[in-house]
Structure 1
C-alpha cells in the first residue's frame, strides 16, 4: 500500500514538470511567431548577457524616469540588444536604455551634460537688414586729377636745382629750381629809368604791362618798386605737398617757354582702384560704398564711394576695375599699397543669416544641424547665398528663429551614429528627415571584416567568439555573438575551436560569412 502511494506521488510530480515544460515551450513558440525580429535580437546577445538577462513579459520601464524602455544596449555596439539593465559584456560600462519615445521621434537627443562636455554651442537664424556687398582687394594710386606741372614761361638757365631725383617728397611752397632769365634785365632797367626821370603814370603803366607780357611775376615787379634793383633770378616752387613724380632738367640746363621742368603728384588724396571679380561685374554701380583697411594698421579705416567704373576687364586677373578717391590728409598711405575693401550696396536688403561655422559642406550638399522644439537634433539640407563677414545667408531650408548647432557638429554626428538614430551626413536622406533607429552606417553596410578567435558557444542562431581586435571597426579584444546566415550553416564549428572568421553588418546585427579552422588546440 505504501509503495502504491509513493508511485502515485512520483507520477504526479512528473506530470507537473511535463506540463510546466510544455507551457514554457508553447510560450516561447508564441513569442517567436509574434515577433521574430525581437526573438532573434534576444538570441544575438553574448553568453554573459544571455545568462544575466532572461525574457520578461509586459512593458519594461526605467525606474528613474518612468519612461517605457524598448531595450538596453552598449552605445559602442548598438546592434546588440538586451532586455534588462546591467554591465556591458563588451566594455567596462553600464548598458544604456533606448526609450520608446526616442526611437519614434525624428532626430537624436543628447544629454545636456554630454552637450556641455562636447562644447556644443547654438545660434539662432535671424533675418537682418544687411548691405548687399562683397569683399575685394584694391591698390592705391596717385590722384592724376590733382597732379601739377612746373613749367618755364621764359628762356633761361637752371643755375640751381633743389629737387635731386624723381619720387622725392616735397612740401607745398618748397623750392624746386632757381632759374636765371637774362631777358628780364632790360625791361626792368627801362622801368627804373622812366621812374627816375619823372615820367607820367601812363608811361610807367605801359612799362609794367611790358614786364607782365614777358612773364615777369608781379612779386618781382613789386620788389623792383620797393628796392629799385633789377632781378634776373626766379625760384620755382611746389604748388602742392606730394612727391616729384617727374624731373626733366638738370643743373645748368637751358629751358624754353612751355618746357615742363617737373611734375608734382599730390598725396592729400589718392585714387583707390578696386579689383572686382568678373562674376560680380554686373552688380557694381557708381555710388556704392567702399570701406577699406590696410593690413599694416587694420584699425584705420578709409571710406568713400565708387566714382566710376573703368571700361574693360583685365585679361590676366579677369577683374573689372572701379575707381574712387579717398582722403589721405594725414599722409598715412602711399601709392602702391594693397588694401582689403568691403563693397556695400546703396540700400540694405533683408537676409536670413546664420554663423558660417554652422554650415557643413559635404561636397554634394550643404547641411546644418537644427535643434527641434523638444531638444532633438537633426540635419537639414539648406541652400546658402553670400557671406557677410562671419555670417552666411540661407536661401532655403531654415526659418527665422530656428536654432542651429554652431560648433561640435562632427561630435554630434559621431554620437548620433553610435545611437543609430541620426543618418550619416553623406547619406541621401531628404532634408529634415532622419534614418530609422536600426539603419546601419552607410560606410559599413556591405563591407566585410575579418579576425581570429576562439569559439565559446554555438547555437542555431549564432556563434559566440572570444576574438582578437578588429581595427577597421575600432574594436579591441572582446567576447561577442555573431549571427549565422542559417541554422545549418558552419556545421563543423565546435566550442573550443580556434578559427579565422569573417562577418558583415546587416539590419539585424553582425552576420558571419565564413568560419575556417586554424588548427588550434581545443
Structure 2
C-alpha cells in the first residue's frame, strides 16, 4: 500500500513539473511571436537609426556633421534621424486639437487693395494767399484806423491815412493844364501823377472834382488776418516801406507728417479726409497739393501739404485734425491678414496649412500693408490657407524640430553689403560644393574654434586649394546657416 502511494506521488510530481515546463515553453514561443515584446528582439533601436546631422534646438539653422557640445548654448547637440526627416518639413497636429490650441486659418485672397494711412495734421495759413501793403511814396502818417495784428479784416478795409506833400504840387500843375485845354500837356501831367505813385482811382477823383487831394488811404487788398501793422500816427514813411501784411483765409493748408516708411505711397493729387475735434461729425475733403523735399531728422517723417477750402472762415490755423490718406492702385494683388505674418527680423514667414493637420513655415516677400491686410508679392498662391492665430506656437515648435523655411530667391539691393565673419583655419577636405575646415574662433559670432563643414558660395573658391592648406576664411550668416564667401591661402604659404 505504501509503495503504491509513493509511486502515485512520484507520478503526480512528474506531471506537475512537465506542465510547468510545457507552459513556460509555450509562453516563450508566444512572446517571441509578439512584435517588439523584448528589447533584444526589436529590429532597430533609436541609437541604431542613421543620423543625418546634429543641431542646436535653440539655433536649428546651423547643422553639424558630428555630435558634441553646442557652440552657442551650454547643451549637447541633438541628432536628426533619417526616418524622422520624412516629416521634418512640417509640424503635425491632431486635427481634433486644433480648436483647443486656438488655431485659426485664413485664405490667401486676391483683389484690389485700397491703401489708407491715418496720421495727424495741423492747420496753417496758406502762404500763397498773402498781401503786402507798402508806401508808394514818402509821406507822413496822419491817421491809423483801429486795427491790431490778429484782427480779421474784410477786403478794402481802411488801415491808415498818409499825407504826401509831393502830390499836392503835381496835382496843382495837372489842374492848371486841364484849364488851359492842351491835350498833350494834360496827358504828360497825368503820366507824371502815375509816376509819383498816385493810384489811378485817386487821379480820376482829382480830375473830376478839380480839387487837390494829397492824402492817401491805405486799404487791405484782400480779406483775411492782419499779421503785421507797422504804422503809427505822426511817423514818417519812406517809399517802398512795408506797412502791413494780410494773410487770406479763403483756403488753409493742412500740414501732415507722414512716416518715411510710407513716403513711397503718397502722391500729389491723392484723396484726403480730415476730421477736426473742433467740429465733431464733420468730414473735410481735400487733395495732396505738395510733398515737401525735406525729412525731419528727429521724427523721421516727411511733410505733406493739403489745401482745404475755407469759404466760411471757421478753419483757423493751429487746429489739429485726424487725417486719412487714401489711395487705390487699381491692380489686383494677393493679400493675407497682417496678423498671419511672423517677422523674424531678417525675413517674413507664414505658417502654411496643409492636409492632415500639417503646417510648415514659408518665407514670403511682402508689399504694402493697409487696414489689417498685407500684400504678398512672392511665396504664396491664391486659395492657400495660412494660420492667422496661434502661428507663433507652431513657429516655435518648428524651430525646436529644426524645420527651416526655404529661402526666397530675392536679390538684395545693390547698396546692401553682407556682413562677413573672418578667422584662420586649415583645409581638411574640399570639393566644389563644400569645405571641411579646422578653424579658429569666429569672434564676431561668439563661436569657438572647431572642425566643421561649410557650403561654398561659389565653386570657384576651391581652385588652387587642397587638403592641408592654411587659409583665411570669410563666412556670412544665411537663413540656412554659415556659408563660405571667401577662401584664400594664408600669407607666406606657397
1:423 to 397, 401, 420: 397
Identify which of 139, 143, 149 aligns with 2:132. 149
SS at match of 1:357: helix
Q: Which residue of the other structure, out of 312, 326, 332, is the alignment partner of 2:307?
A: 326
Residue 391 (structure 1) aligned with residue 373 (structure 2):
yes
Q: Distance in 2 between matches of 1:327 and 1:404?
A: 43
Q: 1:367/1:278 Cα in 2 relative to 1: closer, same or farther (>3 Å)?
A: closer
Asked whether 1:240 is paired with 2:225, we answer no
Check 1:35–1:386 CA distance in 2 against 1; reply closer, same or farther (3 A cut): farther
Deviation at 1:401, TM superposition (A): 1.9
Alpha carbons 2:289, 2:307 under 8 Å: kept: no
More off after superposition, 19-28 vs 227-236: 227-236
**What residue ranges of structure 1 are gaps of 5+ in the alignment?**
40-101, 433-522
Q: Is the 8 A contact 1:290 1:341 kept in 2?
A: no
Name 1:249's counterpart in structure 2.
231
Find the counterpart in structure 2 of residue 453 from structure 1.
Answer: none
Instruction: Check conservation: 1:379, 1:425, Cα contact below 8 A.
Output: no
Summarize the Cα distance change of 1:213–1:361 in structure 2 as closer, same or farther, 3 Å threshold.
Answer: closer
Q: CA deviation at 1:243?
A: 2.7
Q: CA deviation at 1:27?
A: 3.1
Equivalent residues in 2 for 1:11-410, closer than 5 Å? 12=15, 15-31=18-34, 33=36, 36=39, 107-111=92-96, 115=99, 121-130=104-113, 141-162=124-145, 164-185=147-168, 211-223=193-205, 231-270=213-252, 287=268, 289=270, 291=272, 293=274, 296=277, 300=283, 302-305=285-288, 307=290, 310=293, 324=305, 326-330=307-311, 331=313, 333-335=315-317, 350-363=332-345, 366-374=348-356, 376-409=358-391
Given that 2:90 and 2:398 are in contact with CA atoms closer than 8 Å, whether structure 1 keeps it comes out as no
Say which is worse superposed, 370-379 or 332-341, in terms of deviation: 332-341
SS of the residue aligned with 1:423? helix
Q: Are residues 229 and 386 of structure 1, via their aligned partners in 2, closer, same or farther at CA, if it must alter by over 3 Å?
A: same
Question: 1:413-445 deviations in whole A, cap 9, x for unaligned?
Answer: 3xx79xxxx82556531238xxxxxxxxxxxxx
Separation of aligned partners in 2, 1:103 and 1:318: 43
Q: Which runs of 5+ in 2 are unaligned?
A: 43-86, 407-494
Matching residue of 2:59: none
How many residues matched? 357
Listed one character per residue, the Cα deviations across residues 110-147 of structure 1 (whole Å, up to 9, x for unaligned) are: 438x62x7665433222344478988777665444332
C-alpha deviation, 1:348, in angstroms: 5.2
Matched residues in 1 for 2:122 and 2:319: separation?
Answer: 5
Residue 85 of structure 1 is matched in structure 2 by: none
Change (3 A) 1:376 1:174: farther
Q: Is the 8 A contact 2:284 2:308 kept in 1?
A: no
Alpha-carbon offset, residue 262 of structure 1 = 1.5
SS of aligned partner of 2:397:
coil
TM-score normalized by the length of structure 2: 0.54
Relative to structure 2, which stretch is displaced further, 184-193 or 423-432? 184-193
State the distance in 2 between where 1:268 and 1:121 align.
53
Determine the structure 2 residue equivalent to 1:464.
none
Helix, strand or coil at the partner of 2:31: helix
Deviation, 1:358, is 1.7
Structure-2 change in CA distance of 1:308 and 1:404 (3 Å): closer
1:323–1:382: structure 2 CA closer, same or farther, 3 Å change rule?
A: closer
Q: 1:171-200, CA deviations, whole angstroms, 9 ceiling, x for partnerless residues? A: 4333333333444455556767788x7958
1:325 to 1:389, Cα distance in 2 relative to 1, 3 A: same
Counterpart of 2:128 in 1: which secondary structure?
Answer: helix
Residue 391 of structure 1 and its aligned partner are, at CA, apart by 1.9
Check the 8 A contact 2:398/2:404 in 1, yes or no. no
- Give the 3-state SS of the residue equivalent to 2:23 in structure 1: helix
Q: Partners of 1:278 and 1:159 in 2: how far apart?
A: 55
Tell me which moved more, 387-396 or 265-274: 265-274
* Secondary structure of residue in 1 paired with 2:350: strand
Against the structure 1 CA distance between its residues 374 and 169, is the aligned structure 2 distance closer, same or farther, given a 3 Å change threshold? farther
Match of 1:447 in 2: none
